[in-house]
Structure 1
Amino acid sequence: MKIIITGATSFIGQNLIRRLIKEGHFVYAVVRPNSMKAKELLVSSQIKVVELEMHEYTKLDEKINEMCDVYFSLAWEGTRSAERDNHNLQKRNFECSTAALKSIKNLGCHLILSAGSQAEYGLCDDYVKETSIADPVTWYGKYKLKYFLKTTDFCNQNNIAFKEPRFFSLYGPDDFKGTMIFSILDKMLKNESCDLTECKQMWDFLYIDDAIEALISLMERPCEDGIYNLGSGDSRSLREYIEEMYSLSGSNSKLNFGSVPYPATGMVNVMPDIAKLKRQVGFVPKTTFAEGIKRIILEMKGHN
């Protein structure tokens, strides 16, 4: 198949491209002009790099100019920290992403998959199902949800299949080095003290290879349109996860649980119900948290 991916240099994008190439697909990898990260993409006759700013996504059909099969919408700026509440940035993401839809239709794509987020649900104290009420509290979550609704309408009107995998907490060796897992492991490997909240919140981590397997299944297998929660199904306290990291790293760090207060918004739980994903495409995560952490530790030690 011919597949278009915006956000091709992202954590998800790069791992997805490697898998698609391995399976024999041809990928149009959409990147920013002069992107330094574009050099990290595979060198292959099965990849064509397309340089466009987000506001130029209306030109996707001009740049690609041949019929394609599938569109992965992965580009979205300001997904971390304070930028999630940058209204203008999140609004621009929404506008640029929705503006691309006409080009995708013109290119003949019969399926769209977009990267959703648990932020679309808002604050939840229990397991989250796809049918749970969406009540986002950040502009990031609000505009992600708005994009989902807009794209759903567009696809219904144009007979295009649309699935939104909603990611909760992905991790893996080549992830952004400022994540909680990387920053804490870095301290653990240096035997430095780790200042933490009480870590009573419930969490769920999904290894990147399993996430890519889920995306491929949603692309290839017959399944319902709509939202799919992507998680491991292994929801437990964040403290348990951190103590497992501590054990695997062989660290002598002091774990200062409770030394960091929770934000004013309160404790956030991340507990995806993945029953729909299992039922629709037979999804079964293969990588345990321990196995994933061991791979990250090996990478970190190799770079020291």
Structure 2
Amino acid sequence: MNVVVTGATSFLGRALVDRLLKDGNKVYAVVRPGSKNRKYIDTNRPGLIQIERNLEELHKLDDVIKEPCQAFYHFGWDGSGSENRLIRKVQQKNTEDSLKALEGARRLGCRRFLFSGSQAEYGIHKEAMTEETGCSPVSEYGLAKLAFLKQAMDQTKKWRQEGSCSMEYIHARIFSVYGPGDHPWSLVESCIRSFSRGEYISLGECTQMWNFLYLDDCIRALILLMEQEKESVSGIYNVAAPEQENRPLKDYIRMMYEILGFHGSYSFGRRKPNAEGPANLIPDIKKLKAATGFEPEISFAEGIRRTYEAEKH
């Protein structure tokens, strides 16, 4: 297929581009002009075409892409860091820019548009989260992702009713993904760095329920959704590990400590919660599994080993 990927230098974007190229697709990787992360895109790889565009220019991609495309993955999003998640102006602009990306996909004749939603849309819950669970985001980041969902669903429905475009909209609510290349301040990266060096790390309470999914499994789930041969896969899908992986975050910390050889030390209750607060992550992925047959292939222990080995070189 001819595939467009925005946010191609992001943690998920880089891994997706790599997988799509290995699968024999032609990939238009969209990066922002002057991005310091362009080094992650190897423009010499067969099938890869890099395009420099700002997020507010994504509706005009057909100016440079002169052939129809079948799939559009939209990961381009400013202000994903903890502090920017609370800034309304930053997050509202992301919603506006993402609608331009949707229009860009329409002009390119894409069959499906997949958006990287977030568990932050749900807000704080104590029970399992299904796609029908009510959403009460507590951050501007979650509010903006949720706002785009409604507007994108309304827009694609309008296009179908007008007969001008039959593009499907897939809203992938991605939970907690880890793996090589993640942000250095993420919990998993911080633990791997500290424990592998025999250092001390101070942590939050870590009493909330959590769920981790390895990067390669996440990318495989997104591709399965995009490439399903069913007539329609429009709608919301939780993307996470299955129910049996839901456990207290403390347990995951202890597992990493053990896997990395019991080096260093840690203590709980020393750090403040992130922008979304001490949210539980208890995803239900039955809908994803029913639509695609998805099952993770990499256990948490194996994923931590792979991440450590990839990053120590």
Whether the TM-score (by the shorter chain) exceeds 0.5 is yes
For 2:210, give the aligned amino acid.
W
Q: Report the Cα distance in structure 2 between the residues aligned to 1:25 and 1:86, rounded to whole angstroms.
A: 37
Which residue number in structure 2 is paired with residue 287 of structure 1?
298
- Within 5 Å, give how 1:119-268 maps onto structure 2: 119-158=120-159, 159-221=166-228, 222=230, 224-233=233-242, 234-260=245-271, 262=273, 267-268=278-279
Cα drift, residue 140 of structure 1: 0.6
Cα gap change, 1:265/1:61 in structure 2, threshold over 3 Å: closer, same or farther?
closer
**3-state SS, counterpart of residue 64 of structure 1:** coil
1:264 Cα deviation after fit: 9.8
Counterpart in the other structure of 1:7: 7
Shift of 1:115: 0.3
Secondary structure of 1:49's aligned partner: strand
Write out per-residue CA displacement over residues 229-252 of structure 1, whole angstroms, 9 at most, x where no aligned residue: 011121101111000000011133
1:269 equivalent among 250, 275, 280? 280
Q: Given residue 61 of structure 1, which amino acid in structure 2 is its aligned partner?
A: D
SS of residue paired to 1:163: strand
CA RMSD of aligned residues (A): 1.6
Structure 1 residues 26-78: Cα deviation after superposition (integer angstroms, max 9, x where no partner): 11111111323223223323111111011221221212132111111110011
Distance verdict in 2 for CA 1:71–1:254, change over 3 Å: same
Gaps of 5+ in 2: 160-165
Change (3 A) 1:224 1:300: closer
1:82-121, aligned counterparts within 5 Å? 82-121=83-122
Aligned-residue offset at 1:280? 1.0
2:212 and 2:241 in contact (8 A); partners too: yes
| SS in structure 2 at match of 1:229 | strand
CA shift, 1:266, in A, is 5.1
Question: Residue 69 of structure 1 corresponds to which residue in structure 2?
Answer: 70
Count of aligned residue pairs for this structure pair: 302
Give the whole-Å Cα distance in 1 for the aligned partners of 2:113 and 2:156.
Answer: 8
Write out per-residue CA displacement over residues 89-129 of structure 1, whole angstroms, 9 at most, x where no aligned residue: 10111111112322221111111000000011111111100
Distance in 1 between residues matched to 2:108 and 2:294, nearest whole Å: 30
Which consecutive unaligned segments of at least 5 residues does structure 1 have?
none
| 2-structure distance, mates of 1:245, 1:180 | 11
Residue 265 of structure 1 and its aligned partner are, at CA, apart by 7.2
TM-aligned CA distance change 1:265 to 1:8, over 3 Å: closer
How far apart in 2 are the matches of 1:213 and 1:28? 19
Q: Which runs of 4+ in 1 moved over 3 A?
A: 259-266
**Corresponding letter in the other structure for 1:230:** V
Task: Say if 1:286 and 1:262 are closer, same or farther in 2 by CA, change over 3 A.
Answer: same
Q: Distance in 1 between matches of 2:117 and 2:62?
A: 24
Q: Distance in 2 between matches of 1:84 and 1:162?
A: 24
Scaled by the length of structure 1, the TM-score of the pair is 0.95
Kindly indicate whether the alpha-carbon contact (under 8 Å) linking 2:139 and 2:276 is maintained by their aligned counterparts in 1. Answer: no
Structure 2 residue 36 is the aligned partner of structure 1 residue 36: yes
262-271 or 238-247: bigger deviation:
262-271
Paired AA for residue 211 in structure 1: C
The offset of 1:177, in angstroms, is: 1.4
- Which residues in structure 2 correspond to 1:49-60 (within 5 Å)? 49-60=50-61
Distance in 1, matches of 2:116 and 2:275, equals: 28
Give the C-alpha shift of residue 261 in structure 1.
5.2
3-state SS of 2:64 partner: helix
